[in-house]
Amino acid sequence: MSMRTLADHVLDIAQNAINAGATRIRLRVEETSEIFRFRVIDNGKGMDPPTLERIFDPFYTTRDKKIRRFGLGLPFLREAARMTGGDVRIQSEKEKGTQIEVLFYPAHIDCQPIGDLGSVWFSLLSYSPNIHWFISRQYQEDEYEIDSAVFAKMMRRPDDFYDPAFLRLMKESLQELEDSILGIG
Ligand SMILES: Nc1ncnc2c1ncn2[C@@H]1O[C@H](COP(=O)(O)OP(=O)(O)OP(=O)(O)O)[C@@H](O)[C@H]1O
Ligand SMILES: [Mg+2]
């Protein structure tokens, strides 16, 4: 059985937005004991209707297959969401962007574990310093927001994104936000 987590799916879908050439990406995760819902809105290249019809076909990809592409992100995601009684909804417009909304029922016995969203935020922000990210995360009654411009402003030099000390600081602040909302630490 797969050891994937819901956080891995969030990462996959956000990576699709990066791969679509987006410069602004909004990501929202809402979690209660009943639902786990996430939404990714990007201003990337979008999809035309024929592409949209094929994206849930296993192994469908428009990316270069020579470089480790499987085209399994969306089919696996939908399968995993439907197993819990949830689903995936996609709206997209060519040259405008894409919105994906995913619903899981975390109390369902077949639901994958939630996983670590703090490390997802870090992977995304550190991997794509030129993308403007707006992340909003809601857990029960609490929520926090991350605007990647805050980290861009903290940089003293353009190559700070390759500085281990800067990256550690970024990782720790993102993890602290997530831990505080979960009531850890
Ligand atoms: N946000 C998006 N914007 C534009 N096209 C998208 C977006 N998300 C998915 N697609 C299209 O759907 C295809 C299938 O996506 P999927 O995540 O299943 O596979 P992949 O990203 O190509 O490969 P892998 O996830 O294995 O790296 C992509 O190749 C792309 O053409
Ligand atoms: Mg993908």
Domains of the chain: 6-182 (3.30.565)
Atom of ligand 1 lying closest to residue 42 CA = 1
**pLDDT tens across 77-115, in order?**
999 999 999 999 999 999 999 999 999 999 999 999 999
Atom of ligand 1 lying closest to residue 77 CA = 18
* Residue 17 near ligand 1, beta carbon < 6 Å: yes
- Give residue 41 CA to ligand 1 midpoint distance, Å: 14
Neighbours of ion ligand 2 (CB under 5 A): 16, 73
What local confidence, expressed as pLDDT, does residue 185 receive?
67
The pLDDT of residue 32 is above 90: yes
pLDDT higher for 140 or 1?
A: 140
The pLDDT of residue 71 is above 80: no
- Tokens 């879908």 locate to 13
- Give residue 83 CA to ligand 1 midpoint distance, Å: 21
Atom of ligand 1 lying closest to residue 74 CA = 18
What local confidence, expressed as pLDDT, does residue 1 receive?
47
pLDDT higher for 35 or 153?
A: 35
Which pTM does this prediction carry?
0.94
pLDDT higher for 57 or 94?
A: 94
Query: pLDDT tier at 69 (50, 70, 90 boundaries)?
Result: low
